[in-house]
Amino acid sequence: MESVSGREDVIRFVFDQIPDGVEGFRVTVGEMHSLPDGQVLVSVHYTGRGVASGADVEMDATQLYGFDDDTIVFFQDFRTLATALEAAGLSE
């Protein structure tokens, strides 16, 4: 997965690059779990259709969010639950 950091780059990626490359992009949220140190783990399912290829896009991922009070200060997408838990300093 592409690494994006910084507020402006994240906004550009989410609102410009994804819609330009994936038609009908949709995120379905599954389970959410509170973790220690102000972190939240979220399972998601992505769907859409590649603009250039016309191929269906379908992928499961696990997102890790870090919060400071009510503000997101960290976000990362992981292909597996195990790698997300490892990044959070936990294990399955």
Residue 3 has a pLDDT of: 66
Q: What is the pTM of this model?
A: 0.80
Residue 92 has a pLDDT of: 66
Cα separation, 16 vs 60, in Å, equals 21
Do 55 and 67 touch, CB atoms closer than 8 A? no
Cα separation, 17 vs 21, in Å, equals 6
Per residue in 35-81, pLDDT (tens digit) is: 988 899 999 999 999 999 999 999 999 999 988 888 888 888 999 99
Return the half-sphere exposure (C-beta side, CA atoms, 13 A cut-off) of residue 64: 20
Cα separation, 56 vs 39, in Å, equals 32
Tell me the domains of the chain and their CATH numbers: 7-87 (3.10.450.50)
